[in-house]
A and B are shown apart, each in its own frame.
Chain A
Amino acid sequence: MNNVCIPPAFIFIIGAFLIPFLSGKARSTYVVLLPVAGFINLISIPMGTLMTVPFLDYTLTLVRIDRLSLAFGYIFHIISFITLIYILHVKKNLEYVAGFIYAGAALGTIFAGDLFTFFVFWETLTVGSVMLIWARGTKASASAGFRYLMIHVTGGLSLLAGIVMMVMKTGSIKFGFIGLTDAASWFIFMGIGVNCAWPFLHTWLTDAYPEATIGGTVFLSAFTTKTAIYALARAYPGTELLIWIGVGMAAFPIFFAVIENDLRRVLAYSLVNQVGFMVVGIGIGSELAINGAVAHAFNDILFKGLLFMSMGAVMYRTGKIKATDLGGLYKSMPWTAAFCIVGAASISAFPFFSGFVSKSMVMSAAGNHHMIAVWLVLLFASAGVFHHAGIKIPFFAFFGHDAGHRVKEAPTHMLIAMGLAAFLCIFNGTFYKPLYSILPYAANYEPYTLSHIVSQTELLFYSALAFTLLLLSGIYPAEMRAINIDFDWFYRKPLNALEALCSRIFNSINRFCDRVFVKTLTGQINGFAVNATTKLTNGLLSPVFRANAKKSAEDENSTSPEQAMPCGADVEKAFSTGTSPIGIFAACAGLMIVVMYFFA
């Protein structure tokens, strides 16, 4: 089947290049309507479409619409629409253009039916996203952006190597199930893993996301990790290793989040934690688990976006984002506080909020397969995420001790964007059927059983009880003006030191060579080349000169200067001006022939 349609990515990416020609209200209207146009185009493309175009010896599949790609397509359009409303205060074009290129690249990646198209859009994701980090314009964002770029380029190379090896071996560029078999599949696996923020590969996320612009972070939280989740669900469902990777991701970030002071970095850690649940779901690979992973990706984009938006609004009004500088903002920003609490309740999976209907699918899938350790760690992570994202974020920003900020409520467009996201969080949590109907497999799961509601509420309330008691007793770690080193320490400190050491060693070798070869030896060789013949001639003629000198001394009175016999200085002068007497010249030529005769 070869249906022709407008690839969803093209609307965003080509549309992005028209933004610089617009300004003011026209630009605002345009950027908000572009995702709407994209969405209308998306729902007009029939299910099962495969749009192919010939390219060299291969056939590229620019658009593949199936249930898996479509679910991601819907949410990518929705969050683009919401985020664009959220950033309408931004004056510069860069963020809009970068945002659309980034979102368009994400759409291109998920709808790509072949590895080549997939790779091109995958790399475009990196380009778009790094612009959103650099757009902040601070020194910290510049260097975080560079580290981000280096890591993603490395991941991209791994992906490319895997794709090339795979295409060489199979001769097909089709992008479908791969599974962990040969070296090629491992390279692709690791390439995707970088974007998925696996443990030890996650530092680009927690390093760079809090350094991006206010709206940039909202964009970033939606696309890179979720396209990676899509790619894993497409190519590696049921890969057991993913279960353990996901368990690691769900567990370790919550410890860092508890002691982190930068609230957007807290959210970055909780992003890794939530993606962990999705990775576990893909690793389990059953229909329920894959459905759970996709549903949770859908919901996470909304509630994580909402949380980042609320923190962005706080940052926009107060200029602060560290917990030590914030507190008591519910008085000045009640709506933002309310929306933040909705996001917090959703990520914590309270009944009637979106996390409740999706996270539990992954938990149930683990339970169905009797994975005891996995289930226990996920339960621990569920309690932990409530602790750091559910309580800590709203508490330290809007309640806690009053930091004395008396600011205006967030701008209207931000409130509208947050309101939309909050509405969808509650809607998905309460009326979950529409969400379930777009999942890759038919969903028979029933989240609202009395048993599930009571056990989840118990888990959360007793987590809250622990927080309350620890806070009242003073054991809860006070927020401190400090940073916490993570795995990025290895490339920011020892690797930096190694670079400094290498630069010392190689630069001193360089300086030594410069002194010896360039400054000293070259001059000497040059001098030798210029003066050697003169010196040689002088040496050979020295008996003659000496005899001449003796003779001149004898006829001192009778000899005029014109008739003076040649001496060493004359020879030197003659050679340097090229005017040597024929006799000497002939002697030298003869000498040369003799030398050549012996040595040639």
Chain B
Amino acid sequence: MFDNPKNVKRLLAIFFTSVVILFIMDFFVHKHAHFPWENWPVFYAIFGFVACVLLVLVSRYILRPLVKRKEDYYE
């Protein structure tokens, strides 16, 4: 199913479309906010994206060099 690059492309296209739809939808939904920034447009989208990019960058460039060892390190 996913060996065919066409299908992968199709899936990605659907995914990117839904991301855009969500982005637009956000402007029309009233938020029950605990904090003022929750009312900022697309706050959750930006937060989710930035959080994950930071997570990956910190894990890869800071944590991994510190903690990575060979598989037989403890043996």
A residues lining the B interface (CB < 8 Å): 254-256, 258-259, 330-331, 364, 367-368, 370, 372, 375, 379-380, 383-384, 387, 399, 402, 449-452, 454-468, 470, 475-477, 480-486, 492
Assembly CA distance A82 to B68 (angstroms): 36
Q: Are B12 and A460 in contact (CB under 8 A)?
A: no
Assembly CA distance A483 to B71 (angstroms): 5
User: In the complex, which residue of chain A has the Cβ closest to the Cβ of B16?
Assistant: A465
Q: Which 9 A-B pairs have the closest CB atoms?
A: A367-B34, A466-B52, A462-B48, A258-B59, A459-B48, A458-B44, A477-B60, A462-B49, A383-B51
Assembly CA distance A461 to B23 (angstroms): 10
Partner of B48 from the list A367, A458, A476, A482 (CB cut-off 8 Å) is: A458
Interface residues of B in 50-75 (CB under 8 A from A): 51-53, 55-60, 63-64, 67-71, 73-74
Interface footprint category on B: 35 or more
Known: A454-B25, A468-B12. A477 touches B30 (CB 8 A): no
Additional A-B contacts beyond A258-B59, A364-B34, A465-B16 (19; CB < 8 A): A254-B55, A255-B58, A367-B34, A368-B34, A379-B47, A384-B51, A387-B56, A455-B44, A459-B47, A462-B22, A465-B48, A465-B49, A468-B15, A475-B56, A483-B69, A484-B64, A484-B69, A485-B67, A492-B74
Assembly CA distance A466 to B31 (angstroms): 24
CB neighbours of B19 from chain A (8 A):
461-462, 465
CB neighbours of B49 from chain A (8 A):
462-463, 465-466
Partner of B52 from the list A372, A383, A484 (CB cut-off 8 Å) is: A383
Partner of A463 from the list B23, B30, B51, B57 (CB cut-off 8 Å) is: B51
Assembly CA distance A458 to B32 (angstroms): 15
Known: A259-B63, A458-B22. A484 touches B68 (CB 8 A): yes
Known: A466-B52, A480-B68, A484-B67. A461 touches B18 (CB 8 A): yes
A248 to chain B, nearest CB (A): 15
Assembly CA distance A545 to B6 (angstroms): 119
B residues lining the A interface (CB < 8 Å): 1-3, 12, 15-16, 18-19, 22-23, 25-26, 29-32, 34-35, 38, 42-49, 51-53, 55-60, 63-64, 67-71, 73-74
A277 to chain B, nearest CB (A): 16
CB neighbours of B59 from chain A (8 A):
255-256, 258-259, 477
CB neighbours of A331 from chain B (8 A):
1
Dominant secondary structure at the B interface: helix
CB neighbours of A464 from chain B (8 A):
15
Assembly CA distance A33 to B30 (angstroms): 50
Assembly CA distance A399 to B11 (angstroms): 13
CB neighbours of A465 from chain B (8 A):
15-16, 19, 48-49
CB neighbours of B70 from chain A (8 A):
482-483
CB neighbours of A372 from chain B (8 A):
35
Partner of B22 from the list A380, A450, A452, A461 (CB cut-off 8 Å) is: A461
Assembly CA distance A475 to B31 (angstroms): 34
User: In the complex, which residue of chain B has the Cβ closest to the Cβ of A252?
Assistant: B63
Assembly CA distance A466 to B55 (angstroms): 10
B45 to chain A, nearest CB (A): 4
Dominant secondary structure at the A interface: helix
Assembly CA distance A482 to B63 (angstroms): 13
CB neighbours of A466 from chain B (8 A):
48-49, 51-53, 56
Assembly CA distance A464 to B48 (angstroms): 9
CB neighbours of A480 from chain B (8 A):
68
CB neighbours of B1 from chain A (8 A):
330-331
**Interface-centre pick from B3, B30, B35, B51 (highest chain A CB count, 10 A):** B51
CB neighbours of A481 from chain B (8 A):
71
Partner of B68 from the list A379, A387, A482 (CB cut-off 8 Å) is: A482
CB neighbours of A379 from chain B (8 A):
47, 51
Partner of B73 from the list A256, A364, A458, A485 (CB cut-off 8 Å) is: A485
Q: Are A458 and B69 in contact (CB under 8 A)?
A: no
CB neighbours of A256 from chain B (8 A):
59, 63, 67
Known: A458-B22, A463-B52, A482-B71. A451 touches B60 (CB 8 A): no
CB neighbours of A459 from chain B (8 A):
44-45, 47-48
Q: Are B32 and A452 in contact (CB under 8 A)?
A: yes
CB neighbours of A259 from chain B (8 A):
59-60, 63-64, 67-68
Assembly CA distance A331 to B3 (angstroms): 10
Partner of A451 from the list B15, B31, B46, B52 (CB cut-off 8 Å) is: B31
Known: A367-B34, A463-B48. A387 touches B55 (CB 8 A): yes
